[in-house]
């Protein structure tokens, strides 16, 4: 089957959803394709992994998002190939779709940097399924360790000291320190340990030094063992080997060590640059490929000052809005505008009541409780859907005031 659409958007993440819904508002027909029937909010996956939030707090059905956008057609399908010259998209079902304008917003995937055993034995936190799998494994290991007090200690290892690694380490350490004593026993809590490993000598490289130091101090306060300045050479089912030849016994390893473009980009013929991402022009289209835009985590974008833009939700979202404007201009035969990114800065949660933030282009620095409140406000604003926002706020209040976790993990059956 071959069907033609004015615009096809591949990927319904921050960038793809913005492009599709904005175009629909302007009366442009769009086919929005994603391998998931839902839009997922990656920045909060670590909270799903540690049972702080539930799946429906961070994932929203695409048909709910687009139900009032009559020009958007949602297709739940895995895209297996893109022909950027012909602007065609082929799905795993064998269907082919052709577009006048093709928008590739398929995000990225974990980069294991060819580390032996990492892909097989570590958990990435890049999708809702990853978060559920990790949480189920954690509960399984806690139950085993509780049932068999002589079985030794439980070690969790986080690989990567960027925002994802720091947020996950903080959340996991607080789960072990505050929730495990109440749900299991103080003895088991004393046998649970979190290690964070990074080959660079400091956490949160993109942040200013005072914020790096704050994050370090805060993680040490909740007993996270920081192994900085040493790389991981192997991940096995029973542990992690480091470049200094030490090993950490662990069956619970999180890989937060970096991202690369997904396979459909690699095989698309589009020009790939840093991280395998597509180098796009200032207007977000791909030079030499008329009618093709690449957005969000799939693209290497530069701002008006020539600075490379980071892989962030706000960059992806704004690129989606901007691309929609340029596509409307294309269809009307008007000139496109170069992407102007409104830099809102970045932030990371370190634990309950503790975060670091560097806001705006001038990087106004915050840490501790004020940064924690700023983090909550920004993430509520970014969440898709009013019910998601209300539920997340209520859950965060409960989490802040108590050691209760209202979410459950469906793990392996024990019969």
The helix (H) or strand (E) run that includes residue 394 is helix 386-401
**Binder among 7, 15, 142, 350 for ligand FAD (CB under 6 A):** 15
CA 17, 23, 25, 31: dihedral to nearest 10 degrees? -70
Q: Is 135 in the site for ligand FAD (CB under 6 A)?
A: no
If one asks whether residue 276 binds ligand FAD (CB under 6 A), the answer comes out as: no
294 binds ligand FAD (CB under 6 A): no
* Rounded CA separation 19/47 (Å): 27
> Which residue in 298, 300, 275 sits closest to 9, CA to CA?
298
Residue written as token pair 């395998």: 276
Strand pairing partners for 339?
none
The correct pick among 20, 30, 31, 33 for binding ligand FAD (CB under 6 A) is: 33
The 104-123 contact track toward ligand FAD, x by CB under 6 A, reads -xxx----------------
> Which of 316, 324, 357, 374 is close enough to bind ligand FAD by CB under 6 A?
316
Task: Tell me the C-alpha to C-alpha distance, in Å, between residue 64 and each of 68, 69, 70, 72.
Answer: 8, 10, 12, 12
Nearer residue to ligand FAD within complex by CB, 33 or 366: 33
Residue in the block written with tokens 């990225």: 108
Shorter beta-carbon distance to ligand FAD: residue 79 or 204: 79
- 25 secondary structure, DSSP code: H
DSSP H helices in 4-103: 14-25, 45-49, 55-58, 62-65
Identify which of residues 43 and 257 has a Cβ nearer to ligand FAD in the complex.
43
Pick between residue 215 and residue 312 the one whose CB is nearest to ligand FAD: 312
Confirm or reject binding of residue 174 to ligand FAD (CB under 6 A).
no
Unique residue bearing structure tokens 């404007």: 325
Residues touching ligand FAD, count (CB under 6 A): 32
Contact mark string toward ligand FAD, 76..95, x via CB under 6 A: --xx----------------
CB 174 within 8 A of CB 319: no
Question: Which one of residues 52, 164, 175, 211 is an interface residue with ligand FAD (CB under 6 A)?
Answer: 164
Residues 376-415 that bind ligand FAD (CB under 6 A): none
- The Cα–Cα gap between 381 and 391 comes to 13
Q: Is 45 in the site for ligand FAD (CB under 6 A)?
A: yes
In the complex, what is the shortest distance from the CB of residue 105 to ligand FAD, in angstroms, rounded to a whole number? 5
Query: φ and ψ at 315, to 5 degrees?
Result: -65, -45
List 5, 11, 50, 251, residue binding ligand FAD (CB under 6 A)? 11
Residue tagged active-site, from 109, 120, 167, 209: 167
What is the H or E stretch that residue 215 is in?
Answer: helix 209-221
Give the residue with the Cβ less far from ligand FAD, 36 or 398. 36
Q: Using alpha carbons only, give the angle 221, 255, 158 rounded to the nearest 5 degrees.
A: 15
Say how far apart CA 154 and CA 152 lie, in whole Å.
7
Taking the complex as a whole, the smallest distance from the CB of residue 338 to ligand FAD amounts, in Å, to: 19
The answer to whether residue 167 is catalytic is yes
Binding characters for ligand FAD, 295-314, by CB under 6 A (x = yes): -xxx------------xxxx
Contact between 36 and ligand FAD by CB under 6 A: the answer reads: yes
Q: Dmax of the chain from CA atoms?
A: 73
Which residues does the annotation mark as catalytic?
167
Binding site for ligand FAD (CB under 6 A): 11-16, 33-36, 42-43, 45, 78-79, 105-107, 125-126, 163-164, 262, 264, 296-298, 311-314, 316
């Amino acid at each position: 089957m071959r069907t033609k659409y004015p615009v096809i958007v591949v990927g319904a993440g921050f960038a793809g959803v913005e492009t599709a819904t904005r175009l629909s508002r302007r009366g442009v027909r769009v086919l929005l394709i994603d391998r998931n029937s839902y839009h997922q909010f990656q920045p909060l996956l670590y909270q799903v992994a540690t049972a702080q939030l539930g799946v429906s707090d961070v994932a929203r059905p695409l048909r709910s998002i687009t139900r009032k956008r009559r020009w958007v057609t949602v297709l739940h399908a895995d895209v297996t190939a893109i022909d950027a010259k012909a602007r065609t998209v082929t799905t795993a079902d064998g269907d082919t779709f052709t577009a006048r304008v093709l928008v590739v917003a398929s995000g990225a995937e974990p980069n294991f940097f060819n580390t032996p055993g990492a892909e097989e034995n570590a958990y990435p936190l890049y999708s809702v399924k990853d978060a559920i799998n990790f949480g189920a494994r954690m509960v399984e290991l806690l139950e085993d360790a509780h049932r068999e007090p002589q079985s030794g200690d439980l070690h969790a290892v986080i690989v990567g000291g960027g925002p994802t690694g720091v947020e996950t380490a903080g959340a996991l350490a607080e789960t072990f320190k505050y929730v495990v004593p109440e749900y299991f026993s103080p003895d088991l809590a004393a046998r649970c340990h979190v290690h964070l490993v990074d080959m660079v000598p400091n956490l949160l490289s993109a942040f200013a030094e005072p914020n790096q130091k704050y994050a370090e101090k805060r993680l040490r306060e909740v007993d996270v063992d920081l192994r900085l300045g040493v790389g991981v050479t192997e991940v096995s089912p029973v542990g992690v080997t480091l470049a200094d030849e030490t090993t950490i016994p662990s069956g619970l390893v999180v890989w937060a060590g970096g991202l690369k473009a997904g396979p459909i980009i690699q095989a698309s013929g589009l020009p790939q640059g840093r991280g395998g991402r597509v180098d796009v022009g200032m207007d977000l289209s791909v030079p030499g490929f008329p009618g093709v835009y690449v957005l969000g985590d799939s693209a290497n974008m530069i701002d008006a000052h020539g600075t490379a833009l980071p892989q962030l939700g706000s960059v992806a979202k704004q690129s989606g809005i901007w691309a929609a404007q340029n596509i409307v201009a294309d269809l009307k035969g008007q000139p496109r505008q170069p992407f102007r990114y409104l830099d809102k800065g970045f932030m990371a949660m370190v634990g309950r009541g503790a975060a670091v933030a560097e806001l705006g282009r001038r990087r106004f620095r915050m840490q501790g409780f004020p940064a924690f409140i700023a983090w909550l406000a920004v993430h509520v604003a970014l969440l898709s859907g009013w019910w998601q926002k209300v539920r997340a706020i209520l859950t965060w209040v409960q989490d802040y005031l108590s050691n209760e976790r209202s979410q459950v993990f469906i793990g392996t059956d024990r019969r």
